[in-house]
Amino acid sequence: MQTTKSSLAALTLAAIGVVYGDIGTSVLYAIKEVFGSGHVPFTVDNVYGILSIFFWTLTVIVSIKYVVLVLRADNNGEGGLIAMLALASQAVKDKPKLRRFLLGIGIFGASLFYGDGVITPAISVLSAIEGMEVVSPRFKDWVIPLTLVVLFCLFAVQKRGTGGIGRFFGPVTLLWFLVIAILGVSHIIRHPEILQAVSPHHALRFMWFNPGTTFIILGAVVLCVTGAEALYADLGHFGKKPIRLAWFGVAMPALTLNYFGQGALLLARPEAVKNPFYMMAPDWALLPLVVLATAATVIASQALITGAFSVTKQAIQLGYLPRLNIQHTSVRETGQIYIPFVNWGLFVAIVLAVVMFRSSSNLAAAYGIAVTLDMLITTTLTFFVIRYRWHYPLALCVAATGWFFVVDLTFFASNMLKLLHGGWFPLAIGGAVFTLMITWKQGRALLNEKLKADAIELSSFLEAVFVSPPTRVEGTAVFLTAEPGMVPNAMLHNLKHNKVLHEHNLFVTVQNHEVPWIGMNKRVEIEPLGHDCWQVILHYGFKNDPDVPRALEQIRARGCEIEKMKTSYFLSRDTVIPTIGSGMAPWREKLFAQMHHNASAAADFLSLPNNSVVELGSKIEI
* pTM, two decimal places: 0.85
Q: How confident is the model at residue 1 (pLDDT cuts 50, 70, 90)?
A: very low
Evaluate whether 275 touches 99 at the Cβ level (below 8 Å).
Answer: no
Buried-exposed string 488-497: b where 16+ CB fall within 10 A, e elsewhere: bbbbbbbeee
DSSP 76-102: TTB-SHHHHHHHHHHHTTT-HHHHHHH
- C-alpha dihedral (496, 499, 505, 511), degrees to nearest 10: -10
List residues bridging with 525 in a β-sheet: 537
Q: Within 10 Å of residue 316's Cβ, how many Cβ atoms?
A: 21
75 has which bridge partners?
78
Which pLDDT does position 412 carry in this prediction?
94
Rounded Cα distance between 334 and 317, Å, is 15
Distance (Å, rounded) from C-alpha 430 to C-alpha 418? 16
Q: Find the range with the poorest average confidence among 65-74, 212-221, 238-247, 448-457.
A: 448-457
CA distance 453 to 164: 51
In this prediction, residue 46 carries a pLDDT of: 92
Radius of gyration for the chain, computed over Cα atoms and rounded to the nearest angstrom:
27
Q: Kindly report the number of other CB atoms within 10 A of residue 349's CB atom.
A: 22
- Residue 362: pLDDT above 80? yes
Percentage, residues of the chain above pLDDT 90? 40
Q: Which amino acid is at 125?
A: V
pLDDT tens by residue, 252-311: 999 999 999 999 999 999 888 888 999 999 989 999 999 999 999 988 888 788 888 888
CA distance 544 to 511: 11
348 — pLDDT class (breaks 50, 70, 90): very high
CA distance 319 to 24: 35
Give 601's DSSP letter: P
- The answer to whether the beta carbons of residues 254 and 178 sit under 8 Å apart is yes
Instruction: Please state the rounded mean pLDDT for residues 177-195.
Output: 95
Count of Cβ atoms closer than 10 Å to residue 284 Cβ: 8
**Position 3 confidence tier, pLDDT thresholds 50, 70, 90:** very low
| Contacts of residue 571, Cβ cutoff 8 Å, sequence gap at least 6 | 480, 490, 602, 603, 613, 614, 615, 616
CA 406 to CA 376: how far, in whole Å?
Answer: 9
Q: Is residue 3 exposed (0-12), middle (13-18) or buried (19+ Cβ within 10 Å)? A: exposed
**Does residue 614 contact residue 492 with C-beta atoms inside 8 Å?**
no
Q: What is the pLDDT of residues 494-526, one digit of tens each?
A: 888 888 899 899 999 999 887 888 888 889 999
pLDDT tens-digit profile of 6-28? 688 888 888 888 889 889 999 99
Angle CA 431–432–435, to nearest 5? 85
**What is the DSSP secondary-structure string of 233-269?**
HTHHHH-HHHHHHHIIIIIHHHHHHHHHHHHHHHHH-
**137 Cβ contact list (under 8 Å, min separation 6):** none
pLDDT of amino acid 616: 77
Q: Region 440-450: what's the mean pLDDT?
A: 88
Per residue in 467-486, pLDDT (tens digit) is 888 888 998 999 998 888 88
Separation CA 159–CA 329 (nearest Å): 7
| Mean pLDDT, all residues of the chain | 87
Residue 532 backbone zone (phi > 0: left; psi -120 to 50: alpha; other: beta)? left
Q: Left (φ > 0), alpha (ψ -120 to 50) or beta: where does 568 sit?
A: beta
Question: Which residues, 6 or more positions from 199, have their beta carbon under 8 angstroms from its beta carbon?
Answer: 52
d(CA 204, CA 207): 5
Q: What is the pLDDT of residue 79?
A: 79
500: region left, alpha or beta (phi > 0 left; psi from -120 to 50 alpha): beta
The predicted-structure confidence for 524-567, as pLDDT tens digits, reads as follows 999 998 888 999 999 998 888 899 999 998 887 766 778 888 89
Give the pLDDT score at 185: 97
C-alpha 67/C-alpha 249 separation (Å) is 13
Q: Which of 76, 56, 83 is nearest to 315 (CA)?
A: 83
Is it the case that residue 603 has pLDDT exceeding 70? yes
